[in-house]
Amino acid sequence: MSTATERQPGAAPDGAAEAYDEVVARLERVVGELEGGKLTLEQSIEKFAEGVRLAREATRKLDDAERRVDLLVRTADGADEQVPFDPEAGKAR
């Protein structure tokens, strides 16, 4: 029986998944604070800006994960060691 702390073969390193999860958790806290209605206008604007930054960071992490999955699907045996992952590959320059 698999536990939450065990990784599946080919899964992202724990740090990468935790980083995304932490970004999403921070974003959820920001949204909750904004919806709470207890912030001043200036605080609301600052929280909104923070939320935009967090949403962009989460999107970037998801895009990187999608590129990695695409790369793994294209390799013959799914081993990511065959072709080094470059998170900058495929980005518009």
Is residue 37 in some structural domain? yes
The CATH number covering residue 68 comes to: 1.10.287
Instruction: Judge whether 43 lies within some domain.
Output: yes
Extract the tokens encoding 58. Answer: 């989460």
Is residue 22 in a domain? yes
Q: Is 3 among the domain residues?
A: no
Digit-coded pLDDT (tens) for 10-67: 445 555 556 899 999 999 999 999 999 999 999 999 999 999 999 999 999 999 999 9
65 inside domain: yes
Q: What is the mean pLDDT of residues 69-93?
A: 66
- pLDDT for the residue numbered 1: 41
Task: Give me the domain span that covers residue 70.
Answer: 15-74
Number of domains in the chain: 1
Q: What are the CA-CA distances from residue 1 to residues 4, 8, 10 (Å)?
A: 10, 12, 18
Helix axes 14-36, 41-74, angle to 10 degrees: 150
Residue 51 lies in a domain: yes
Q: Is residue 42 part of a domain?
A: yes
